[in-house]
Structure 1
């Protein structure tokens, strides 16, 4: 129980300590987003569940992930090639642009979303998993100052894959390795349930 609250406190501290805001220009970013739209959708809402929707995801988070792809901190051959020529300002502009677009939302799987809601909003003390909304917000809108991504309307397939990558160590990004710690405590059912829940949040 004590370790559960220590982790929750660490998460809160990480959010509070993140104070950087994007300095990107959304209008300029729109002119640089042609290649991005081929996979992530003309309106930033991806049609392929393996590729994330970027609309409303969070400007700072998008910028940071582009930086991670370019540096190799987040390995992905396709994204590495796409960001190779981007400047830091390009990344800021793209982040601002995609964050300015509305997420159109998706339909949650009725078989799983209720269990997902319970985990998202209340966590699981027995396994030491804090409530997801502690970082990602009660409506899964994320936390821009902390560069915590919005999860609402995101493809469940994509969210599950990211949780799996965090759990396996294939992805190691984010403040204080919090997501790696949490993901290792999630069961396959937990991942499916919470991913289905956030998929349906409007």
Structure 2
């Protein structure tokens, strides 16, 4: 592995996961601020690793593999933490949709790459919008205390549902793009 700045940021994001989990369970009043800051740091490193990889010409196979893994890991872990703290069905459903989609799309991309069709399921604009909405939702839900008149928890739940809808939409885009290959109807 090449230790480039983008790869270091990606590995750092993965290393933040156990720290975030540990802090989440600490019995202090400031925990929500700390976990929100840690998750925010992870989200920022996600943006910067991609930016530096493209801007500095440091795109690598290792980074291309690990970056989406890091994103999915931290999002899944945060969703599991939040579901554990909010075990109501109306909270579990969007979390399950988001995690389920990530597994399904990752499997689809892996399979398409194996048969040389990875470009058919490249990241879409809707996927990027979904990621942004999802990250904001998770930041608000981790913080959960109102910020003045801003009801962060309620806004976070609303954005989580929007993220779940965008998640399904983006998954349908990927499945539609892959359908000729999946159904065996692709012309050779």
> Shorter-chain TM-score: which interval?
0.3 to 0.5
Q: TM-score, normalised by structure 1?
A: 0.31
Larger RCO, structure (CA 8 Å, separation 6 or more):
1
